Amino acid sequence: MRTRGSGFTLIELLVVIAIIAILAAMLFPVFARARESARKIQCLSNVKNIAIAINMYLTDYDAFPPSETRSEVTNYFDSIPGSASRQGTGIWNGTIGGHCGVCTKANPYLRWPTILDDYTKNRDIWRCPSAKIIGGASFIIQPTDWFNYLVSLAGEWGDDSPNGYWGPCLYAYPNGWGGTVTDSMTQLQLAVPSGSLESAAASQAFVQSIAVNADTIAGAKTSRMDDASSYVIVGDGSQNVTTMGPGLTAYPDLCNAECAGTMPYCDPWVDWEVCSAWASDCGLEYHAPQDGSFYNDRQLLKKYARHLGGVNVGFGDGHAQWFPSDTFLGMYRDGKLSGLWNSGPTSQCAPYPGNYLF
């Protein structure tokens, strides 16, 4: 009489494998959600620490970090240096702030992370662990007299320079923030040339994926905040880490969120060729219809809300909070949030989507 061996039959093995596959399919989303929850908490802590640092600065100076207002600097960049091909286009002229859009970007010592460095004591707090699009140090200027240095070498940078477009418009930082790049002019390279985490790691440059509301409130007095507890000053950011519009904040990994799909990138005055080098996946132009209808597709939008369908935001009184992105936009529409940049219905970003007011 034959006796059965102690091994498993093929059918038994297949059943076990099927059970393991089912359990894995059930557990993997749970693990992924738990991991993102941890990242959300870490990012929220970073946002809160930055909000506290800004409050400490406000206590010392009774105003937000300043913008560049010197006439010789603003006049120079309004002349579109290094970009003769842009003359007369209506895009690079002085009506929207000259060659850099906002010439404050060209001053490496007016970056908020630079100014707040003595308050934060840790540059890593400017990073969101879940960010897909980053900003940070790109153009590194070594001399303290940065302006005269750039003027003397104007032909070496800009659209019409031998090196193509690269210059202080791409967030200039001082030496010490670019890692292995200590002077972009002499080394002929950017600290983060592609805007990717890989290139930042390679050059050991400073990375920023948490934005500040610099373009709206730079230099403003503390009294600008009618209600500091609802005045947005910092939060999850996109490639443009100095602008916090309602759409850019609610969906930071969706480029061009403010422009309803009518512009090729977040900054309407920047060439698509330039911007595509800063993010391998800009989001909107690859995945969304260009008529603005994507704003009504909650499932499409949710993938661009950084943390489990929501974002982290810090306020003028120093507190920080996570909001579902829809809730955040609803509060903005209802007037419960202030301080956010709004390009307005007559800007280059019109038309606006019907259900959202950006």
Q: In whole angstroms, give the CA distance from residue 231 to residue 336.
A: 9
Does the residue 34 lie in any domain?
no
Q: Read off the pLDDT of each residue in 260-282 and give the average, rounded to a whole number.
A: 39
274 has a pLDDT exceeding 70:
no
Which pTM was predicted? Answer: 0.80
The mean pLDDT value for 9-32 works out to 76
Any domain includes 23:
no
Q: How does DSSP classify residue 8?
A: P
Q: Is residue 342 part of a domain?
A: no
Residues 96-128: tens digit of each pLDDT? 344 555 577 889 999 999 999 999 999 999 999
Q: How does residue 267 score in pLDDT terms, banded at 50, 70 and 90?
A: very low
Residue 218 backbone class (left: φ over 0; alpha: ψ -120 to 50; beta: rest): beta
pLDDT surpasses 50 at 355:
no
Domain region containing 197: 46-333
- For 284-313, write each residue's pLDDT tens digit: 444 445 555 666 676 777 778 889 889 999
The per-residue b/e assignment along 239-261, b for 16 or more CB within 10 angstroms, e otherwise, is bbbbbbbbbbbbbbbbbbbbbbb
Beta strand pairing call for 320-324 and 210-212: unpaired
Whether 324 is covered by a domain: the verdict is yes
Element holding 74 (H helix, E strand)? helix 71-78
Q: Is 319 among the domain residues?
A: yes
CA-to-CA separations, 117 to 27, 49, 64, 105, 129, in angstroms, rounded: 41, 12, 14, 17, 20
Q: Residue 213 domain-assigned?
A: yes
Residue 141 lies in a domain: yes
Residues 18-29 have a mean pLDDT of 76
Domain count, the chain: 1
Q: What is the mean pLDDT of residues 56-75?
A: 91
Residues 6+ apart with CB under 8 A from 244: 211, 212, 213, 215, 216, 232, 234, 235, 237, 339, 340, 341
**Mean of the per-residue pLDDT values of the chain:** 77
Average pLDDT over residues 130-134: 82
Cα 190 → chain centroid: 18
Please report whether residue 346 resides in a domain.
Answer: no
Between the alpha carbon of residue 225 and those of residues 17, 58, 126, the distances in Å are: 60, 12, 23
Cα separation of 95 and 268, whole Å? Answer: 13
CA-wise closest residue to 339 among 212, 251, 252 = 212
Residue 255 has pLDDT above 50, yes or no: yes
Q: Are 231 and 316 in contact (CB under 8 A)?
A: yes
